[in-house]
Amino acid sequence: MGRVTGVGGIFFRSADPEAQRAWYKQHLGLNTDAYGTNFETRQTLNPERKSYLQWSPFSESTDYFEKAFMINYRVDNLDEILESLGNDGIELIGEIQVEDYGKFAHIRDPEGNRIELWEPVDEEYEKMLDGRTF
């Protein structure tokens, strides 16, 4: 069965995402771009491979998630996880999204929080970052 392998992103609502990114850049040294920033880590079971955590302020009016925040979890096999979740009665929200840098799916936890599951293609994601990491 597939499993969560780490946190892939922290997304939160902001009244002014651009100002938020600029403040974090100026005062805390985050290397921000139009999407936020990425923190580079290493995969525990495969330390020579990089892993990334995306930090992103979103507009307060976003419909990408409903509450003040959403956590993105990295997973090792999205299809297996979704099959297992479906067997447990947990429904997929919308469709699976496929990008060059991975596949995404959304579910809800027992309290209704939207959760994003991401099976990354790290090599493609790394190309997108162009060195903008910590």
What pLDDT is stored for residue 110 in this prediction?
81
pTM exceeds cut of 0.85: no
Q: How confident is the model at residue 112 (pLDDT cuts 50, 70, 90)?
A: confident
Q: How does DSSP assign 51-93, residue by residue?
A: EEEEEEEEETT-SS-SSSEEEEEEES-HHHHHHHHHHTTPPPE
Listed range (9-13, 57-61, 108-112, 115-119) with the worst mean pLDDT: 108-112
Give the model confidence (pLDDT) of 44-71 as tens digits.
888 888 888 999 999 999 999 999 999 9
Burial category of 14 from C-beta neighbours within 10 Å (exposed 0-12, middle 13-18, buried 19 and up): middle
Q: Is the pLDDT of residue 133 over 80?
A: no
Q: Catalogue all structural domains in the chain, each as residue range(s) with its CATH number.
A: 4-129 (3.10.180.10)
